[in-house]
Amino acid sequence: MKPARFVMGMSGAFLLSVLLSCKGSPQPEADITAYFEPVAGVLPYFKGKYMTPWWPAAAGALPADLKTMPPMAFTTHENKAFATESLKGKYVLVNFYFTSCHGICPMLTANMRSLLKLIKKQDDLQIISVSVDPVKDTPEVIKAFRSKYAIASDNWVFLTGPQDEVFKMARTAFNADTFTKDINRDLRDFLHTENFYLLDKKAFLRGVYRAKGMGDLGRLITELDTLRNERPQS
């Protein structure tokens, strides 16, 4: 009986290989199968729609599909204009929230506040919390939300902006809504992430961290130091 089972297994494998080799068989996308060798002392970039980690093998041109903060105009909790271009030259932590959220948003806000107490060097660090409900989250509302959590850090701003632009930015630059890709859907369909995102001084995405608890935020602190000390890329 053992040889018979062996023959059947070999036949099945042969049939599978034939089916996979057919011209009409779907091929996996390059972004899914891509692999890039990690580089010691360098944080990855993230590229393509699947946020594939990418490390530069050597100095040279960067791929065009790296995840990066796009140009966009926001309004702060102080009702002042805030352009994403102003972030360049600083390391940036980004998260998404809305003030009427009673789920993870209060937890993320509290964890960010706790995290900042653990980061000793902050003169080159900017934190931005972006509302995904800008219709309701006016400057007055987000200022009250900031006060509710007793946030006094000058380098942490709460932002609001045009809803369609916020949704598009969150989905395309950060994959922050992993459940739906239609930028025309409303807030009820926007299942925003629990993640914090780390940008380098050129506004490229370099780190993604789960922020429901504090466990992954120790890695964030370590990798922020790694980013500060890595060799410059073109």
Residue predicted with more confidence, 172 or 5: 172
Asked if residue 106 belongs to a domain, the reply is: yes
Q: Is the pLDDT of residue 61 over 60?
A: yes
Domain that holds residue 204: 37-229
Number of domains in the chain: 2
93 domain residue, yes or no: yes
Percentage of the chain exceeding pLDDT 70: 76
CA distance 12 to 213: 46
**Are 49 and 149 within one domain?**
yes
Same domain, 51 and 148: yes
Q: pTM here?
A: 0.81
In a domain, 234, yes or no: no
- pLDDT band for position 32 (cuts 50, 70, 90): low
Domain identity same for 124 and 24? no
CB contact at 8 A, 206 and 188: no
Q: Say if residue 139's pLDDT is above 50.
A: yes
Average pLDDT over residues 128-138: 92
- For residue range 144-198, list pLDDT tens digits in order: 999 999 998 999 999 999 988 988 898 889 988 655 445 454 444 445 578 999 9
Residues 14 and 116 in one domain: no
- Please state, in angstroms and rounded to a whole number, the distance separating the CA atoms of residues 194 and 174: 12
Strand ordering across the sheet containing 195-199: 81-83, 73-76, 156-160, 125-131, 91-97, 195-199, 205-210
Regarding whether 118 and 14 lie in a shared domain, the answer is no
Q: Where are the alpha helices (DSSP H) in the chain?
A: 2-21, 30-33, 104-118, 139-148, 163-173, 217-229
pLDDT at residue 76 tops 50 = yes
